Amino acid sequence: MKNYISKLTLLFVVLATVGLTSCKKSETPEPTVTPQLAKVVFWNPSTGTESLSAEFIYDTKGTMTSLIYGGTTYTVAFDSSNKLASLTGTLKQGLIVTYTIEYSSAGQLVKVVYADGGTNANTKTITYNAAGKISKIGIVYTNTAITPYNAEYTWNGDNLATASSGTYITTYTTYDDKLNPYSLADGISVVFYGNPASKNNVTEIKTLNGTLTNAQKRTYEYNSAGYATSMKLLDGSNEGQKYYYR
């Protein structure tokens, strides 16, 4: 189950808007301060044990310069429009990997090229529906012996309704009414996980593989601004996540 959770963690996002306080009342709205995601950890709700999933490093201006995931540090680069352009890291075995990201003229992420100097090099293509939501993601490998991957998506408003690939059909049946921490980081979500992010936090998921069905329920805790600080599974596995901000 942790493996499933881990796919959802490598995302960087500006998450919460917290109003500045003042000792003097004013009719003019106060400016806001927006915290940034600093760290995501795996969390055992029973023991309180935490282990690092992802960490995000910023410069003094609040611009992300690198991120750590799976023991690998990735250097990030942005294009002239301040969109994520590439991530580069060196794996433990010395292999250099690069994700190069391309956008359409409308600013939509349409392609991710993964290069590792080996047989796993691939190109991920993203297709959108008329509403501007991701409807298809396809992955073609340089090594033609590897079967291409294809997934299709349907939406209910701004929330993912279904994701299907091969014999797997995942239905996202229930959501809360809070902002999903990952919804502002769809680029990273697509790069590392594959699925697009919903606006709200999913609380119930059902996955059908042929005739086998698996159901997963989640519960969240939030900070005073209404953003998730923790998530735990309700299947008795004592697995969850915590989110820390700067």
Residue spans per domain, the chain? 2-245
114: CB partners within 8 A, 6+ apart: 97, 98, 99, 120, 121, 122, 123, 124
For residue 108, which of 90, 129, 139, 91 has the smallest C-alpha distance? 129
Residues 70 and 94: their CA atoms lie apart, in Å, by 14
Q: Provide the pLDDT for residue 114.
A: 96
Higher pLDDT, 223 or 158: 158
- Residue 141's CB is within 10 A of a number of other CB atoms, namely 16
Overall pTM > 0.85: no
CA distances from 240 to 3, 41, 53, 108 (A): 11, 9, 11, 31
For residue 57, which of 84, 39, 33 has the smallest C-alpha distance? 39
Task: Say what percent of the chain tops pLDDT 90.
Answer: 57
Longest CA pairwise span in the chain (Å): 68
The DSSP code for 190 is: I
Mean pLDDT of the chain: 83
Q: Residue 164 pLDDT more than 50?
A: yes
CA distances from 18 to 24, 61, 86, 220, 230 (A): 17, 18, 30, 19, 18
Higher pLDDT, 1 or 213: 213
For residue 12, which of 159, 233, 136, 193 has the smallest C-alpha distance? 193
- Both tokens of 125, joined, read 């293509």
CA distances from 26 to 29, 33, 34, 95, 229 (A): 7, 18, 21, 57, 31
Fold of 2-245: Porin (2.40.160)
Where do we find the tokens 């279904």? 162
Confidence band for 54, pLDDT divided at 50, 70 and 90: confident
Q: Provide the pLDDT for residue 88.
A: 97
Higher pLDDT, 233 or 15: 233
Q: Residue 193 pLDDT more than 80?
A: no
6-46 pLDDT, tens digit each: 433 333 332 222 222 233 344 544 445 566 778 889 999 99
Residues 24 and 89: their CA atoms lie apart, in Å, by 48
